[in-house]
Amino acid sequence: MGMCLTRFGPAPIVVAGDLNAKSALWGSPVTNARGREMEEWMAERNLFSLNRGNRWTCVRPNGGSIVDITMVNPEGLRRAEGWGVVEDVETRSDHEYVEFSLLVTHREIVERRRVARKKFPRWQWRKADRDLFRAATLTALWEEDVLRNAVTSVEDQAERIGDIMKQACDAAMPRSNPIPRKGMYWWTEEIAELRRSSVHARRVYLRARARQDPLAEEEAGEGYRSAKRALSKAIKVAKDRA
């Protein structure tokens, strides 16, 4: 890691992950030994935390924590904006999604678009079914566990993610140069309703945790787990029947 930071240091660099380290530097109410080690490691390499606020990045039945850290070098810090924990999205994981943006120059934007047009299809975003796009993307990641499968290189991972994005876009909107469109065979109104129920149950559970009411928390937690199981089962049944 140190060699990579030195080699690519002039460019914006992002280092992120579940580091199981707690520190007030990234919003944790407590600082543990691993957190202090991370603080020193970051200081030695001139890295800065993008984490803002004190919203949990990891939610488990026995409590929540802020252990998912997003770090950047000085150039990354200059370009980064909008870091936050994504709310009301069912991840089917203990960990929440985080999002942020990195600003780039006009020249970089133009060059990136030029290359992308040659390598990647274009779609009519104005005609997109955004709920279907989000559901298609999340479900593909859930079911195929794309980040933990047998992929052997970063290039393979990028190619697989590109395939998932193409499938989701084809499911949710027409291409600029139309091709025969394949629907997401697993998607039904029942699954859409179960997903909405799961998101609602998760929201209720987090509110119960915040109130520190053990009885309400236990009841809401069971409701949330039940909703997640129902969603997973419905997706599996829909795929098996297709």
Q: Is 52 helix (H, G, I), strand (E, B) or coil?
A: coil
d(CA 19, CA 167) in angstroms, rounded, equals: 32
List of the chain residues with pLDDT < 50: 146-147, 149-151, 178-183
Do residues 187 and 138 make contact, with C-beta atoms less than 8 angstroms apart? no
Per-residue confidence (pLDDT) for residue 188, from 0 to 100: 74
Question: pTM (2 decimals)?
Answer: 0.46
Locate tokens 């119960």: which residue?
208
Q: What is the pLDDT of residues 122-171, one digit of tens each?
A: 888 888 888 888 877 777 766 555 445 444 556 667 777 787 888 888 88
Per-residue confidence (pLDDT) for residue 21, from 0 to 100: 92
Strands 14-18 vs 98-102: parallel, antiparallel or unpaired: unpaired
Sequence-distant (6+) residues with CB within 8 A of 34 are 19, 20, 21, 22
d(CA 13, CA 54) in angstroms, rounded, equals: 24
Between helix 154-172 and helix 130-144 the angle, nearest 10°, is 140
Per-residue confidence (pLDDT) for residue 2, from 0 to 100: 74
Per-residue confidence (pLDDT) for residue 211, from 0 to 100: 79
d(CA 20, CA 191) in angstroms, rounded, equals: 34
Per-residue confidence (pLDDT) for residue 117, from 0 to 100: 61
Per-residue confidence (pLDDT) for residue 16, from 0 to 100: 92
